[in-house]
Amino acid sequence: MSNNQSSQGPHVGLFITCPVDLIRPSIGFATVKLLEQAGCTVSVPEQSCCGQVAFNNGLPDETRALAWNIVQSFKDFDYVVAPSGSCGGMIREHYPELFAGDPRSAEVESFCRKVFELTSFLTDVLDYTPDTPNIDLSSQKVTYHDSCAGLRELGIKQQPRRLLKQCSGVEVTEMADTDVCCGFGGTFCVKYSDVSNRMVGDKTRNIQQSGASMVLGGDLSCLLNIAGKLQRDADPASGNSVVQVRHIAEVLAGDLAAPAIGEAAADSGKTS
């Protein structure tokens, strides 16, 4: 499917995710750009949290209420796409179990079958190949972090790597243990901060040892955790320079004007 596809392409509801909405909206704009280039019409309906935090903290009734709100907000779209394997996995894989035995279960299960993470949607559903890449990063050494939910719940592994090659000329330099958790895990990093810090330390050490100047991923929460650790441990004198951290949607869309995740904006001193 090319950039020149007719306007009769699928109507996609963009599930923006809480972290993207509140912390890094540039990921949302990049996602819209990519979907429109792939021939989709994109709308962003009123929405709430997907319920993952409540679900992981043992609050099924609260989660079910949030989930039903999402189903109703997005039910009329051809597809629902999220720039997050974590939120995508929550909706697609866990909503059906939440509604097991509920009179609404058939409607929920039907809805969940049209929910996709961004890179999976572009490759597995649309078989998208750009007419013209948005950016050329073939001279950059880039590594990739496979987030737990995207990899294990949704089978996302080669899709982002394929798109990086097609859309930006990037051959990913694989770090050691790329598929190992970064230690974020939502409230896990709060409840078990020492364990979480050790895990993200292992992750950032592998990133540094890969020699990459940029690390990408598909989940902003993981990337915030990784970027924070890279910033805290930066020591140019010992060779621990700060590696740029970006969401894959931004790179695929060629939207690199914003500072990398965790870097201060030049005019404000604020972080992204």
Q: What is the pTM of this model?
A: 0.91
When pLDDT is averaged across residues 78-97 and rounded to a whole number, the result is: 97
Place of tokens 């559903």: 125
pLDDT value, residue 8: 76
Name the band, by pLDDT with cuts 50, 70 and 90, for residue 241: low
115 HSE (CA, 13 A, CB side): 31
State pLDDT tens for residues 8-40. Answer: 799 999 999 999 999 999 999 999 999 999 999
For the ranges 52-56, 170-174, 193-197, 257-261, which has the lowest average pLDDT?
193-197
Cβ neighbours, 10 Å, residue 6: 6
Q: Which tokens hold the place of 181?
A: 């958790």
Helix locations, the chain, DSSP H:
18-22, 25-37, 52-56, 60-74, 85-89, 95-98, 105-112, 118-120, 148-154, 158-168, 188-191, 193-210, 220-232, 248-252
Place of tokens 């996302």: 156
